[in-house]
Amino acid sequence: MAGGLFSMAHPAITLSGIAGNIISFLVFLAPVATFLQVYRKKSTGGFSSVPYVVALFSSVLWIFYALVKTNSRPLLTINAFGCGVEAAYIVFYLAYAPRKARLRTLAYFFLLDVAAFALVVVVTLFVVREPHRVKFLGSVCLAFSMAVFVAPLSIIVKVVKTKSVEFLPISLSFCLTLSAVAWFCYGLFTKDPFVMYPNVGGFFFSCVQMGLYFWYRKPRPAKNNAVLPTTTDGASAVQMQGQVIELAPNTVAILSVSPIPIVGVHKIEVVEQQHKEAAVAAETRRMAAANPDGAMPEVIEIVPAVATV
């Protein structure tokens, strides 16, 4: 049987089917690290449930396709496993998602995995004639296989905006690339275009995800030696080296996190900017009360340097 998983009558088909099963097994398990993070934080954070809902729909479609075609055992075995894993992910997501995200996920699940799949089954069995069922169902599977590969790209906007790859797991992208290659070979050797063609797009989209990961995986370093201006006209600027600022003698330093001045200090570490206006106003009033003749020492506000992109 051409699609037999362990038949060596066609070694190329058998080896590509086994490779596809092994790599797809890793693909389905790749999000485990993501859900471990969700479990530790007790929150889904910015993660989306869409990829898992779409992947579950794709898996049940491929199971139906394998049953209709009757000789695609590799597709049947791996997608049966995928159904169980994706269903578990969705249940786990629902347990920790906020109310709005939970309702959205349930809506997607019933609309896609229940209603849409039921519609496909009814049309395939009762509308499409038997000689054309494989072609019709294969076309539907092809379309939604592309959706599975494209679905993780929904976070690209988030990655670009935040310049962070926190929500773009590289392990998933890498496994998707290998899986696309293995299943493309399986479709090629079995002359099944519905398996072969979507994996061309899958390979492309997976490479895009990996490219984004390597582009944004390290934060851009902040430029050192930034200059902070003083609040006194004509006074020399203060040079910042790294996170330490050298202060001139007789300088009053106001930290942005505290209204308490630091006098007679020549070196101070930069801290995060908080309560800036309250600190400056409080110290201005204190110095005005202490110096009724108007002679006030130089005041420098210490704030963190802003990274220049």
Reduce the secondary structure of 132-175 to three states and give it as a string: HHHHHHHHHHHHHHHHHHHHHHHHHHHHHHHCCCCCCCHHHHHH
**The pLDDT of residue 250 is above 50:** no
Residue tagged 């890793």 (tokens): 26
Percent of the chain surpassing pLDDT 90? 24
Confidence at residue 78, expressed as pLDDT on a 0 to 100 scale? 93
Percent of the chain surpassing pLDDT 70? 63
Helix runs in the chain, H state only? 11-29, 32-41, 50-69, 73-96, 99-108, 117-126, 133-150, 156-162, 170-189, 193-216, 276-290
**The pLDDT of residue 121 is above 90:** yes
- Give the Cβ contact number of residue 153 at 10 Å: 16
Confidence at residue 103, expressed as pLDDT on a 0 to 100 scale? 93
Confidence at residue 5, expressed as pLDDT on a 0 to 100 scale? 47
Average pLDDT taken over every residue of the chain? 73
Average pLDDT over residues 162-170: 72
Paired residues of 253 in beta bridges: 262, 300
Confidence at residue 62, expressed as pLDDT on a 0 to 100 scale? 92
Confidence at residue 277, expressed as pLDDT on a 0 to 100 scale? 58
Please give the structure tokens belonging to residue 294: 């108007």
Over residues 284-298, the pLDDT tens digits come to 677 666 666 655 555
Over residues 190-242, the pLDDT tens digits come to 989 999 888 887 788 778 778 888 887 765 554 444 444 444 444 444 444 44
Confidence at residue 124, expressed as pLDDT on a 0 to 100 scale? 94
Range in 107-116, 152-161, 273-282 with the lowest mean pLDDT: 273-282
Confidence at residue 177, expressed as pLDDT on a 0 to 100 scale? 84
Range in 117-121, 127-131, 140-144 with the lowest mean pLDDT: 140-144
Query: How far is residue 140's CA from residue 121's CA, in Å, rounded to a whole number?
Result: 11
User: Cβ-count burial of 214 within 10 angstroms (0-12 exposed, 13-18 middle, 19+ buried)?
Assistant: exposed
Question: Is-contact 145 75, C-beta < 8 A?
Answer: no
pTM: 0.62
Residue tagged 């929150």 (tokens): 43
pLDDT band at 125; cut points 50, 70, 90: very high
**If you average pLDDT over each of 19-23, 141-145, 205-209, 295-299, which comes out highest?**
19-23
**The pLDDT of residue 262 is above 50:** no
Task: Give the three-class secondary structure for 228.
Answer: strand
DSSP class of residue 191 equals T
Residue tagged 């209204």 (tokens): 259
Over residues 3-18, the pLDDT tens digits come to 444 455 678 888 989 9
Confidence at residue 33, expressed as pLDDT on a 0 to 100 scale? 79
Confidence at residue 294, expressed as pLDDT on a 0 to 100 scale? 56
